[in-house]
Amino acid sequence: MKNKYSKSLDLNEFNRTVQWRKEIALDQKRQAAKFRRHTKEIHNCPICQSIKRKKFVEIYQYPYFECSQCGHLYCGTPPDDNELKKLYSSINNENVESSQGKIYIDGDLFDKRVKKIALPKAQFVTDRINAAGLWVDLGAGVGDLVIAAGSLGWESIGYESDRAEVEFGVSKGARLHHEFIDFNFDLPFLKKAKVVSMINVLEHLSDPMLAVSSIATWMQKNSYFLFEVPRFPSISSLTNRCFPELAARNIYSPDHLHLFSDYSAEIMAKNANLEIISTWFFGQDAYELIGNALSVGNFENHSLIDSTLKIINDLQQVIDKNNLSDTMLILAKRK
């Protein structure tokens, strides 16, 4: 099925100001320092297991390596599994360590996120499958995709490990369960799902291959797996390399442990007996590049800023068409 390219988005609507960028980057830097105390060393590519690699960048003292065989980008010293659980799970701890909740738990922006970000993704699936049923969203966050899918006729439900995000999402009408999914154990609740989704989750896991294989094992034949991951190489990865002290998206530690090449995503899908049927390539590369430049440019309220921001979406379309976008949303079918 034909792939899709580009997605217009006005990030000013989501209060992504220069000051916000500086504050969230500083928060990430502090968090990265905290989790450096308990890390492990990775020598093989987590996707193809190759030992051939080259260092691409270091973000907050975490090295990222580019696999010479499949192009996957991965953190060479990620937090160990116990520390990762602290980042995202509040099953035994009322407060997770991750800063993601600060971004998504926002009552003023929730409806905008559902309409402008989640709904187009749910529509992408609905246009291609053209059949409603049970949609299970893993790592559902505040449930924006759960609500969006429900509005299109799906029976939608989500699972999330951050209690605060679950409580917020439930208050907004999302069907969410507070649960930390361990992919080493059985996942029988996926048997009846027509669609299983993981949006911006796999890059946070120490072993995304295990997660996808475990999920696919429990899915029925001819059901669908939807996943969104950060993509490499991209203009955003170039930006992260040029402005490492402002990293808060795409390549940033200790949250994003992986960035997927088109090939490494394909390997992961094939390993799980999944066939990729359509991919949507888009991103925020133009905004990342210009936003980082403005953050170090040390000037505000100039007409040049407004003039530049007005053409962000036009610039992003050029980036997308030239295969340098930083995000891909992939729909795959269980064979």
Residue 288 has pLDDT above 60, yes or no: yes
Give the whole-angstrom CA distance, residue 194 versus residue 213: 17
Instruction: Tell me what pLDDT residue 186 has.
Output: 92
Q: What is the CA radius of gyration of the chain?
A: 19
How far apart (Å, rounded) are the C-alpha atoms in residues 48 and 334? 21
- Whether the bond between 78 and the residue before it is cis, its omega within 30 degrees of 0, is no
The reported pLDDT for the residue numbered 282 is 97
Alpha carbons 148 and 333: distance in angstroms, whole number: 21
Burial of 309 from C-beta contacts in 10 A (0-12 / 13-18 / 19+):
middle
Phi/psi of residue 45, nearest 5 degrees: -60, 130
Q: What average pLDDT score do residues 84-112 get?
A: 69
> Per-residue pLDDT for 238 more than 60?
yes
- The per-residue pLDDT for 310 is 87
Residue 86's pLDDT band (cuts 50, 70, 90): confident
Tell which CATH classification among 3.40.50.2000, 3.20.20.70, 3.30.70.20, 3.40.50.150 matches the domain 4-334.
Answer: 3.40.50.150
Task: Give the pLDDT confidence score for residue 93 in this predicted structure.
Answer: 55
Please check the confidence at residue 47 and state whether its pLDDT lies above 80.
Answer: yes
Residues contacting residue 136 through CB under 8 Å, at least 6 positions apart:
156, 157, 158, 159, 189, 190, 193, 195, 196, 197
pLDDT of 185-217, one tens digit each?
899 999 999 999 999 999 999 999 999 999 999
Looking at 33-37, 83-87, 228-232, which range is the least confident one? 83-87
* CB within 8 Å of 77: residues ≥ 6 apart: 36, 39, 40, 41, 42, 62, 63
Q: What is the pLDDT of residue 2?
A: 82
Percent of the chain with pLDDT over 70: 94
Reduced to 3 states, what is the DSSP secondary structure of residue 91?
Answer: coil
* 321 pLDDT above the threshold of 80: yes
pLDDT at 37: 86
Enumerate the domain spans of the chain. Answer: 4-334
- The answer to whether 178 touches 166, Cβ cutoff 8 Å, is yes
Q: What is the mean pLDDT of residues 5-11?
A: 84
- DSSP code for 39: B
Number of other residues whose CB lies within 10 A of the CB of residue 299: 9
Residue 327 DSSP class = E
Q: Model's pTM, two decimal places?
A: 0.93
Structure tokens at 21: 């960028």
Q: Residue 90 — pLDDT band, cuts 50, 70, 90?
A: low
pLDDT given for residue 46 in this prediction: 98
CA dist 140 and 169 (Å) reads 9
The overall average pLDDT reported for the chain is 91
Residue 95 has pLDDT above 80, yes or no: no
Of the listed ranges 145-154, 162-171, 291-300, the least confidently predicted one is 291-300
More confident of the two residues 171 and 12: 171
pLDDT of residue 220: 96
Contact 46, 258 (CB under 8 A): yes
Max CA-CA distance within the chain? 57
Looking at residue 130, what is its pLDDT?
A: 77
What is the torsional sign of CA 266, 278, 200, 82? negative
pLDDT tens for each residue of 255-278: 999 999 999 999 999 999 999 999
When comparing pLDDT for 93 and 284, which is higher?
Answer: 284
62 three-state secondary structure: strand
- Rounded to the nearest 10 degrees, the angle between the axes of helix 208-218 and helix 262-271 is 40
pLDDT for 119:
97
Q: What is the DSSP string of 151-214?
A: HTT-EEEEEES-HHHHHHHHHTT--EEE----TTS--GGGTT-SEEEEES-GGGSS-HHHHHHH
Tell me the C-alpha distance between 309 and 237, whole Å: 20
**Secondary structure class of 60 (helix, strand, coil):** coil
Rounded CA-CA distance 140/91 in Å is 15
| 18 or 256, which is more confident | 256
Q: Is pLDDT above 70 for 42?
A: yes
What is the average pLDDT across 9-21? 76
14 or 254: which leads in pLDDT: 254
